Structure 1
Amino acid sequence: MSDTATIEAGAPLAIKQGVPLVSQPRLLGAMLDRSVARFPQRPAVDFMGRITTWAELGAAVDRAAAGLQRLGVVKGTRVALCLPNTPYYPILFFATLKAGGVVVNVNPLYVERELTHLIEDSGAEIIVTPDVAEIQARVLKVAGETGIRHVISCPIADVLPAIKKFAYKLVKRAEIGRAPRTPQHLFFADLIAGNGTPTPVPVQPDEVAVLQYTGGTTGVPKAAMLSHANIVANTDAMLVHVGGETPEQDRVLGVLPLFHVFALTNVLTFGTLVGAEMILLPRFELKQLLATMKRTRPTYFPAVPTIYNALANLKADQIPDLSSIKVCISGGAPLPIEVRHAFETNTGAKLVEGYGLSEASPIITCNPFDGLNKEGSAGLPFPGTTIEIRDREDPARIVAAGEKGEVCARGPQVMAGYWHNPAATEAVFADGALRTGDVGYLDLDGYLFIVDRIKDMILCGGYNVYPRVIEEALYEHPAVIEAVVIGVPDAHRGQAPKAFVVLDPPGAATPSELRDFLRDKISKIELPREVEIRDTLPKTLIGKLSKKELVEEELAKAAR
């Protein structure tokens, strides 16, 4: 549990898990090569019933890497992956790295201005999109305005089983993008059509592999620079945490989007490290998830509380047989105790909560799979990780056991800093420890408890939603003169955004009209659950809009 034999109450406390982490810094591609060599005929990816073996995955990665190099990808070239969970993601993730490039993870739900910011900030030269008409059109439009050299479209139908491919083309034909081939726009088949042997590129483990965008404390998306060694270390720690490899093949259910850092480690890189079968679903649909669980019988199931809550509320005759699952891992948002109890009671599966952030690749604590799983705790430090609780007013001081302060972390998974943002990088470290922006405490057993969030951020179904993005969009409406967005309790998503606005002239718009106004300016996840129009909004003594009073009001309503 802890490498400290006795923890004295009142003593300054920094906890490191006693389980040693032996992680050799190496390239992410080395994990792929190892599994391809060890398990060539084992299933690597199950997508809607279509199986790709490890040998097939390795060959596809090589062909795609060679294709990227023909498009001009060299060491350091940023390639944006704007993809849902399909076989294209693991292929192009590893292909980008093998070609010497850097992966820029992009949420396919991003609207044009969000896409524009990520492309311009990262300097991405190539972007990959599914051939879903809505997403493809948005990507092509932004690409034409931002200097993107090539857009690669990936046809969803081509990675489906034969029968489903036929049905998809028939039923979804109106949703399939029809963009023509041009010098700028090509398709995945064009990418892999040539020679399938990429040119080796000398890359070191401490060089950047992924730019993972996060809002941090300001709400302005910044790219955490995650190196090969960072992500490998977190993946190795995951293997230590689960107790090592087993002779039988594991099956990891990937309903979480791979562009999200939680799934990147818990599904893609962990699955690659152990040669697991990665069962990919393009999105969370309860009926599809239940059918997939029944068909594939996964052994690991990482998800967000929203999904566990949906399963916990099923009727008895709808609950799937989860006896094959070793453990379910909750992350991305706080796990309510009631949800954990209901899920475990109704399904019989074990559910543990972890905690992390993009800047740490992402896991820094997790409750043990075998051992004490403390109520309301984010768990023990991950193998090789040190957790410190530092005084919020004096970050140089580490506080005593049980005392609240800012949660800080050290470990090989912690990023070097933010991409092209030295000021933000300096602000997020205290004496070399990563500042999470969350308030918590360590108990005498070394378990971490999160009690508050410093960040102005809403955790909505496992996604980070930044109020500033919504507020800026609201201010584009000519009648909105003041706007504040806060997170309010939501039974389904944990939290949901709620907007408060002042209009001039009064009555110039209704709440529903304001929500409609926002639809093409922010993503569906960011769309406020409710817009409340007020005559005035609370302000501080210096006239700054204040959220504290609104948060207190909403919490009081929720408690009634």
Structure 2
Amino acid sequence: MSDNGQLGEKFTVLPELKPRVLSQLLDDAAANFPERIALDFFSREWTYAQLADEVEHAAAGLAKLGLAKGDRFALCLPNTTYYVILYFAVLRLGGIVVNLNPLYSCDELEHLLHDSGAHMVAVPDVKSISDKVIEIGQKCGVAHVVLCPLADAMPPLTGLGYRLTQIGKRSRPRDHALFIGWRELMAQGTEYARADLDPDDIAVLQYTGGTTGVPKGAMLTHANLAANARQMLIHAEGGREGVQERTTAVLPMFHVFALTTVLNYSIDIAGEIVLLPRFEMKRFIASVKRKPPTQFFGVPTLYIALNSLPLGELPDFTEVRAFVSGGAPLPLEVRQAFERRTKTRVVEGYGLTEASPIITCNPLLHGEIKDNSCGPPFPGTVIEIRDHEHPEKLMPQGERGEVCARGPQVMKGYWKRPDATEKTFYDGALLTGDIGYLDEDGYLFLVDRIKDLILCSGYNVYPRNIEDAAYEFPAVHEAIAIGVPDRYRGEAPWLFVAPKAGMTIDVEELQAFLAKRLNKIEEPDRIEVRDHLPKTQVGKLSKKDLIAQEHDLIREGAK
């Protein structure tokens, strides 16, 4: 059911989406544009020819360590040149990349390393990260930990400054027997045997919580990820002849949205990637001024942060053809404010880890952007709306149901979880766990996630309706609506908000404001104002963490 070959009868395979292996993306870029700048890290540049050479040396070094086809290699790295080099080196050997967030807790790392069976891990030379990985890696049977010295990837003077400020905080190869130093890895020459790859081979294990349960590894094939990158190119109307696009890589590439849009897509079009290890507003603005991007990918919290800047502090974005938002719903007020302030076009897309991740997006350059819509299907993608309780029933146009997707970007299945894979597909279509509808033009409108529905007195209450209404209140910066247990109604909606800088939120005023925009069942039983709301490690508002906090407080209060 999860086999892409079976899905092929259900959607049209465009000629441009012919299955490819990911290593071909870099091969083609290096062959056709060897002198173009591929990477920029703190102003140090690598051309495509230099990047390809670095990948050859890294692949030879990993082969000497015993990495073979099918072996899992974990990248526990921020956005650095090391991530890009090792990503393509592992793929050339037929290895499977396992993406790990360096800020994961010990329990999270242990689960992912154990579940994936990763043989090797790459980490930055930051003791707080490498020590954690060493401790957990020994429990999970990791054979080697590749230590990546951040200062060595910087320009000489910048690197010297970093070393001086990080004395005592950096790991060294001699610190542990499992460590393999970068220089040692790269000193093995370039002799190795490339793996005989098939586009249907697994390229990346991208872990996701999905709709329920512990994180599961989505098996994304070479064909899945390469297809989504090429779908992006088709969506961008084929790119511009003779123009090199530039992306500011502020989203972490261990997240699937950035993996596709920032890395794979940029390499596919031989674009330049300006790498930022993490989001810091001053450094971000300086980077944009130094090398203005021509394409930009962000999450809603990033646009919210930029909207909070005084107009005089906003960088010049005139070279950006379009801003793309993904990862979470983009509030209409946030989009409109950003467009007013920057005089640019912001388009919202939608996807999920299991689809590499993009399945719909508003027109990037030309065509209508519909308010509160995440756009029509991506090229070569079919969107179906099915009754979420009776998936055999297709819903008529305009009626709500579970969003389902078919396309070349849809995963092979979950790693070692045939049971979960079976539950995630219906007749070859990926069940997203989201409720939405298609309008008369084929644009997708999301209503909410099935798991987030608030069942209030037998009625479905959609948290996003409450959140969207809250964002219209002038002082609201962030908003999360959740359902909490209620003895009378089963669940009751609660709203949590954070104010914009320098502003305050009067709860009674907000309650009266919402009463004019929501029905009685949707009106929050409680509104709580906080300085800030919980976020995930990639900057998205975290409803899950807020729910866990509130349920813990409720249980404690009941004792």
Instruction: Tell me which interval the TM-score lies in, with the shorter structure as reference length.
Output: 0.7 to 0.9
The Cα offsets for residues 72-93 of structure 1, whole Å up to 9 and x where unpaired, read as 1111010000000000011000
Indicate which of 161, 165, 170 corresponds to 1:167. Answer: 161
Deviation at 1:183, TM superposition (A): 4.2
Corresponding residue number in structure 2 for 1:400 = 396
Whether contact under 8 Å (1:153, 1:188) holds in the other structure is yes
Task: State the Cα RMSD in Å.
Answer: 2.8
1:341 match: secondary structure: helix
The 2-side partners of 1:405 and 1:389 are apart by: 5
Whether contact under 8 Å (2:39, 2:273) holds in the other structure is yes
Corresponding residue number in structure 1 for 2:27 = 33
Corresponding residue number in structure 2 for 1:436 = 432
Whether contact under 8 Å (1:17, 1:380) holds in the other structure is no
Deviation at 1:189, TM superposition (A): 1.3
Letter in 2 for 1:439: I
Corresponding residue number in structure 2 for 1:308 = 303
Whether contact under 8 Å (1:63, 1:198) holds in the other structure is no
Corresponding residue number in structure 2 for 1:123 = 117
Deviation at 1:173, TM superposition (A): 2.1
1:329 match: secondary structure: strand
Deviation at 1:197, TM superposition (A): 2.8
The 2-side partners of 1:371 and 1:188 are apart by: 48
The 2-side partners of 1:107 and 1:366 are apart by: 26
Identity %: 50
Corresponding residue number in structure 2 for 1:471 = none
Corresponding residue number in structure 2 for 1:416 = 412
Change (3 A) 1:257 1:162: same
Q: Name whichever of 313-322 and 269-278 sits farther off.
A: 313-322
Whether contact under 8 Å (2:382, 2:407) holds in the other structure is yes
Whether contact under 8 Å (2:362, 2:375) holds in the other structure is yes
Whether contact under 8 Å (1:152, 1:186) holds in the other structure is yes
Corresponding residue number in structure 2 for 1:329 = 324
1:99 maps onto 2:93 in alignment: yes
Corresponding residue number in structure 1 for 2:374 = 378
2:389 match: secondary structure: coil
The 1-side partners of 2:83 and 2:16 are apart by: 29
Deviation at 1:178, TM superposition (A): 4.0
Deviation at 1:122, TM superposition (A): 0.6
2:380 match: secondary structure: coil
Corresponding residue number in structure 2 for 1:481 = none
Whether contact under 8 Å (1:225, 1:418) holds in the other structure is yes
Change (3 A) 1:45 1:422: same
Whether contact under 8 Å (1:109, 1:524) holds in the other structure is no
Q: Which runs of 4+ in 1 moved over 3 A?
A: 16-21, 455-459, 486-492, 523-539
Letter in 1 for 2:263: L
Matches within 5 A, 1:269-288: 269-288=264-283
Indicate which of 67, 70, 85 corresponds to 1:76. Answer: 70
Whether contact under 8 Å (2:11, 2:407) holds in the other structure is no
Matches within 5 A, 1:247-262: 247-262=242-257
1:242 maps onto 2:236 in alignment: yes
Whether contact under 8 Å (1:261, 1:362) holds in the other structure is yes
Corresponding residue number in structure 2 for 1:201 = 195
Whether contact under 8 Å (1:21, 1:383) holds in the other structure is no
Indicate which of 254, 259, 284 corresponds to 1:289. Answer: 284
1:191 maps onto 2:213 in alignment: no
Whether contact under 8 Å (1:252, 1:276) holds in the other structure is yes
The 1-side partners of 2:13 and 2:331 are apart by: 28
Deviation at 1:176, TM superposition (A): 1.8
Corresponding residue number in structure 2 for 1:361 = 356
Letter in 1 for 2:330: L
Structure 2 unaligned runs (5+)? 1-9, 454-462, 465-479, 483-493, 501-539
The 2-side partners of 1:27 and 1:132 are apart by: 33
Whether contact under 8 Å (2:386, 2:395) holds in the other structure is yes
The 2-side partners of 1:328 and 1:433 are apart by: 29
Letter in 2 for 1:347: T
1:455 match: secondary structure: helix
Deviation at 1:416, TM superposition (A): 1.3
Q: Name whichever of 168-177 and 383-392 sits farther off.
A: 168-177
The 2-side partners of 1:35 and 1:535 are apart by: 56
Deviation at 1:219, TM superposition (A): 3.3
Deviation at 1:490, TM superposition (A): 5.4
The 1-side partners of 2:238 and 2:441 are apart by: 24
1:228 maps onto 2:186 in alignment: no
The 2-side partners of 1:491 and 1:45 are apart by: 38
The 2-side partners of 1:185 and 1:290 are apart by: 36
Deviation at 1:538, TM superposition (A): 11
The 1-side partners of 2:14 and 2:499 are apart by: 39
The 1-side partners of 2:132 and 2:205 are apart by: 21
2:225 match: secondary structure: helix
Whether contact under 8 Å (2:348, 2:362) holds in the other structure is yes
2:16 match: secondary structure: coil
* Greater length-normalized contact order (CA 8 Å, ≥ 6 residues apart): 1
Whether contact under 8 Å (2:318, 2:344) holds in the other structure is yes
Aligned length: 473
Letter in 2 for 1:190: E
Whether contact under 8 Å (1:67, 1:191) holds in the other structure is yes
Whether contact under 8 Å (1:35, 1:272) holds in the other structure is yes
TM-score (norm 2): 0.80
